[in-house]
């Protein structure tokens, strides 16, 4: 093994020489100088990462040099307005920590028919207060089976049903002009089987066969499958599917989603090219899909391997060079210890918070907050320069990803508790208000997850009188614990399950479509009528958005625990300068009191921000069933 600084220096010179030779690629002007400055800053790290991944190959330095030339070219082609954004964000790197951040997510076709339709909804997005819009996969994809677009046939073509790349670029610019960052998926673990690379691989092309994990017979697949978990067992057992010519290809998800082989540096370079292409269209945040699965190694579960992090850091370093304002959001729906590993300014600055999401549902079912409180205390705070994306539900299933070790400390058996939660959410448990549907029920392993919209899972479909209160309570947590709140658009008007999903071509076998309804036009039309459930949900959420936007204590992610001495009431503090916010949230079915003694660490006079009134803490606080407050408090004198 060569000394790494020696590697750095030699390779730096090698790459610099190549860059100098490509004067047409990187001109001698201020833009070129900006790239060279970032090169000096980030090259050593990128070189180290690339060498860790590919250093054992004789061509690693040639590959790295080609990657750098590609990055330089992409920077040169980056539109001036995005370079201006890069410069602005360099001076305001904490922009995404603002209390004004609010995310929304939707499918283009289901929510707005096409990209023009999304554009037409801009006035509504502003009414809602969005500053972040995640449009789910909108690329060319197979028909009718595309996993909702998560099987990509070309990263450079918009699905013609939705529009064109020019329209996406224009939309990104218009959103940006209105203070909304465009978020798009970077589905880099796999391509569809119709991607050009996949077609060539299937036709037997040796170079492209190396883009995927393809084996001539079952020997290696059998060996890998000893240790790898099944993700979509309803679709196919194990992780491999057979090709027409008898070979086997790795497909973690559906048979038509083939995992890319990042052990091959060509794949890294090719995907870095697709990533920078998207960045140059004006995408500000890339949702890094399925990060846990991107590196495979025989004899391991092939999830969350150290190289998965090295890869993400290398992709991140490429962005720092050629599209420096772009951020990554990690989609790791795995054990909370593993989720945390992806969160780092040099890896993914943002991450979904699947633990908080799952435990909001857990607390709703049990009417107790011990697991959620423990998670906030133990697992919420993350490194400076990073942020959670907090959500109540997404387009995917709800999986019970809490740590069994954490649960055991509270006397809870993880396996039994998951069984209880699954039966509760499919309405097979006494006292359930939920109308959920099982997802990937696997009798062999006992694994099962839950599908359903927020409103259907929280009792609106069931006719529960507490449904609206529960919907607001769930969102109050996502809106105030710290991080960017992310709404599944339509949930702000209480959209219900769509049982027609099975009639749509290609959706019948995937129950997640039950919670991906079309734009609920009638519900939106009633959003300003507070006497309707949709009006009540909308008004409650709008209130939270506006209070949050004017409460600097709610910026960033830092949270301080607060014990309410009440099993049904969650408490946490969000420290600000001088004042702080104390949030209290009652998950029980009855009223609850937090005593004056419990609150005695704070000055007696406080402000209830959502009600807009003064309160006295020396009288204790009474919360109605599923009630919550955000109190602006000061420390006791």
List 114, 289, 303, 396, catalytic entry = 289
**Distance separating alpha carbons of residues 231 and 253, to the nearest angstrom:** 6
Residue 289 CB, nearest approach to ligand GLC (Å): 5
List 99, 331, 406, 491, catalytic entry = 331
Considering the complex, state which of residue 96 and residue 107 has its C-beta at the smaller distance from ligand GLC.
107
Alpha-carbon separation of residue 441 from 234, 395, 444 (angstroms)? 8, 18, 9
Considering the complex, state which of residue 93 and residue 442 has its C-beta at the smaller distance from ligand GLC.
442
Quick one: which segment of 264-272, 390-398, 421-429, 625-633 binds ligand GLC (CB under 6 A)?
390-398
Alpha helices in 217-343, H assignment, sequence order = 219-225, 265-280, 306-322, 336-341
Alpha helices in 92-230, H assignment, sequence order = 108-112, 115-120, 122-128, 165-177, 196-202, 206-209, 219-225
Residue 329 CB, nearest approach to ligand GLC (Å): 11
Quick one: which segment of 1-9, 309-317, 395-403, 537-545 binds ligand GLC (CB under 6 A)?
395-403
Site for ligand GLC in 589-608 (CB under 6 A): none
Alpha-carbon separation of residue 145 from 193, 424, 456, 508, 620 (angstroms)? 11, 31, 26, 11, 56
Considering the complex, state which of residue 147 and residue 274 has its C-beta at the smaller distance from ligand GLC.
147
**Distance separating alpha carbons of residues 478 and 356, to the nearest angstrom:** 8
Residue 148 CB, nearest approach to ligand GLC (Å): 6
Please identify which residue in the block is written with the tokens 């890069």.
86
> b/e map of 466-503 (b: 16 or more CB within 10 Å)?
bbbbbbbbbbbbbbbbbbbbbbbbbbbbbbbbbeebee
Considering the complex, state which of residue 94 and residue 508 has its C-beta at the smaller distance from ligand GLC.
508
Residue 331 CB, nearest approach to ligand GLC (Å): 6
Site for ligand GLC in 280-299 (CB under 6 A): 289-290
Site for ligand GLC in 323-342 (CB under 6 A): 331, 333
DSSP string, 46-96: HHHHHHHHHTTSTTHHHHHHHHHHHHHHHHHHS-HHHHHHHHHHHH-TTGG
Is 307 in the active site?
Answer: no
Site for ligand GLC in 167-226 (CB under 6 A): 187
Say how many C-beta atoms besides its own lie within 10 A of residue 66's C-beta. 16
- The token duo for 166 is 């020019």
Residue 258 CB, nearest approach to ligand GLC (Å): 11
Position 354 contacts ligand GLC (CB under 6 A): no
Considering the complex, state which of residue 185 and residue 553 has its C-beta at the smaller distance from ligand GLC.
185
Site for ligand GLC in 139-158 (CB under 6 A): 147-148, 150
Considering the complex, state which of residue 258 and residue 519 has its C-beta at the smaller distance from ligand GLC.
258
329's enclosing H/E stretch is strand 327-330
Residue 401 CB, nearest approach to ligand GLC (Å): 8
Alpha-carbon separation of residue 27 from 34, 35, 135, 229, 313 (angstroms)? 11, 10, 35, 49, 27
Residue 228 CB, nearest approach to ligand GLC (Å): 12
Considering the complex, state which of residue 35 and residue 132 has its C-beta at the smaller distance from ligand GLC.
132
Is 284 in the active site?
Answer: no
Q: Calculate helix-pair angle for 60-77, 4-21, nearest 10 degrees.
A: 50
Position 396 contacts ligand GLC (CB under 6 A): yes
Considering the complex, state which of residue 36 and residue 518 has its C-beta at the smaller distance from ligand GLC.
518
Q: Give the three-class secondary structure for 309.
A: helix
Quick one: which segment of 124-132, 196-204, 393-401, 408-416 binds ligand GLC (CB under 6 A)?
393-401
Please count the residues of this chain forming the interface with ligand GLC, following the rule CB under 6 A. 15
Site for ligand GLC in 219-258 (CB under 6 A): 231, 253
DSSP string, 571-634: EEEEE-SS-EEEEEEE-SSS-EEE-TTTTTTB-SEEEETTTTEEEEGGG-EEE-TT-EEEEEE-
Among 230, 397, 492, 553, binds ligand GLC (CB under 6 A): 397
Considering the complex, state which of residue 370 and residue 390 has its C-beta at the smaller distance from ligand GLC.
390
Residue 187 CB, nearest approach to ligand GLC (Å): 6
Residue 439 CB, nearest approach to ligand GLC (Å): 7
Nearest residue to 96 (alpha-carbon basis) of 546, 484, 363, 539: 484
Among 142, 399, 436, 482, binds ligand GLC (CB under 6 A): 399
Nearest residue to 75 (alpha-carbon basis) of 346, 325, 269: 325
Q: Which residue is nearest to ligand GLC (CB)?
A: 150
Q: Sketch the per residue contact string, 445 through 484, with ligand GLC: x for CB under 6 A, - otherwise.
A: ----x-----------------------------------
Q: What angle do CA 194, 198, 204 make, to 5 degrees?
A: 125
Nearest residue to 631 (alpha-carbon basis) of 568, 567, 564, 566: 564
The residues annotated with a catalytic role in the active site are 289, 331
Residues of this chain that interact with ligand GLC (CB under 6 A) are 147-148, 150, 187, 231, 253, 289-290, 331, 333, 395-397, 399, 449
């Amino acid at each position: 093994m060569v000394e790494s600084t020696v590697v750095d220096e030699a390779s730096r010179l090698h790459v610099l020489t190549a860059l100098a030779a490509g004067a047409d690629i990187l001109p001698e002007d201020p833009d070129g100088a900006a790239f060279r400055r970032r090169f000096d800053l980030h090259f050593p790290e990128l070189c180290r990462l690339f060498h860790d991944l590919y250093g054992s190959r004789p061509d690693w330095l040639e590959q790295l040099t080609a990657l750098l030339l590609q990055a330089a070219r992409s920077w040169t082609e980056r539109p001036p307005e995005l370079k201006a954004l890069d410069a602005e964000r360099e001076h305001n790197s904490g922009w995404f920590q603002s209390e004004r951040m609010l995310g929304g997510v939707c499918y283009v076709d289901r929510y707005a028919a096409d990209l023009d339709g999304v554009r037409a909804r801009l006035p509504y997005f502003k009414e809602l207060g969005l500053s972040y819009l995640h449009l789910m996969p909108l690329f060319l994809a197979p028909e009718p089976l595309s996993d909702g677009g998560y099987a990509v046939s070309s990263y450079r073509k918009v699905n013609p049903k939705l529009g064109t790349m020019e329209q996406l670029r224009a939309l990104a610019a218009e959103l940006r002009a209105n203070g909304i960052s465009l978020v798009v998926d970077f589905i880099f673990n796999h391509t569809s089987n119709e991607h050009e690379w996949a077609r060539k691989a299937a036709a037997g092309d040796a170079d492209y066969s190396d883009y995927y994990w393809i084996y001539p017979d079952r020997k290696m697949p059998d060996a890998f499958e000893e240790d790898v978990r099944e993700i979509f067992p309803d679709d196919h057992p194990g992780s491999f599917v057979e090709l027409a010519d008898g070979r086997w290809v790795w497909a973690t998800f559906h048979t038509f989603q083939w995992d890319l082989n990042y052990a091959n540096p060509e794949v890294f370079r090719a995907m870095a090219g697709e990533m920078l292409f998207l960045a140059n269209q004006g995408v500000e945040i890339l949702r890094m899909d399925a990060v846990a699965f991107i590196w495979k190694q025989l004899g391991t579960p092939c999830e969350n391997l150290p190289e998965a992090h090295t890869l993400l850091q290398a992709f991140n370093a490429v962005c720092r060079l050629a599209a420096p304002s772009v951020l990554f959001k990690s989609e790791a729906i795995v054990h909370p210890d593993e989720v945390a590993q992806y969160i780092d300014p040099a890896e993914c600055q943002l991450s979904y918070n699947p633990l908080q999401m799952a435990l909001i549902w857990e607390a709703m079912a049990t009417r107790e907050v011990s697991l959620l409180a423990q998670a906030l205390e133990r697992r919420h705070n993350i490194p400076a320069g990073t942020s959670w994306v907090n959500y109540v539900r997404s387009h995917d299933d709800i999986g019970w990803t809490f740590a069994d070790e954490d649960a055991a400390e509270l006397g809870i058996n993880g396996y039994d508790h998951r069984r209880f939660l699954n039966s509760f959410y499919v309405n097979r448990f006494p006292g359930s208000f939920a109308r959920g549907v099982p997802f990937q029920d696997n009798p062999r392993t006992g694994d099962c997850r839950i599908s359903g919209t927020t409103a259907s899972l929280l009792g609106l479909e069931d006719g529960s009188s507490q449904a609206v209160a529960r919907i607001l309570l769930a969102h109050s947590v996502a809106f105030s614990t710290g991080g960017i709140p992310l709404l599944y658009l339509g949930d702000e008007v209480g959209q219900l399950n769509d049982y027609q999903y099975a009639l749509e071509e290609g959706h019948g076998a995937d129950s997640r479509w039950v919670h991906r309804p079309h734009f609920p036009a009638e519900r939106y039309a009633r959003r300003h009528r507070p006497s309707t459930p949709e009006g009540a949900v909308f008004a409650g959420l709008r209130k939270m958005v506006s209070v949050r936007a004017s409460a600097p204590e709610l910026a960033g992610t830092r949270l301080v625990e607060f014990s309410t001495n009440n099993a049904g009431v969650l408490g946490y503090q969000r420290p600000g300068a001088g004042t702080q916010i104390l949030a209290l949230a009652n998950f029980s079915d009855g009223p609850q009191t937090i005593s004056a003694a419990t609150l005695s660490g704070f000055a007696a006079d406080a402000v209830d921000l959502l009600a807009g009134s003064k309160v006295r803490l020396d009288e204790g606080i009474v919360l109605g069933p599923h009630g919550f407050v955000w109190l602006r408090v000061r420390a006791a004198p």
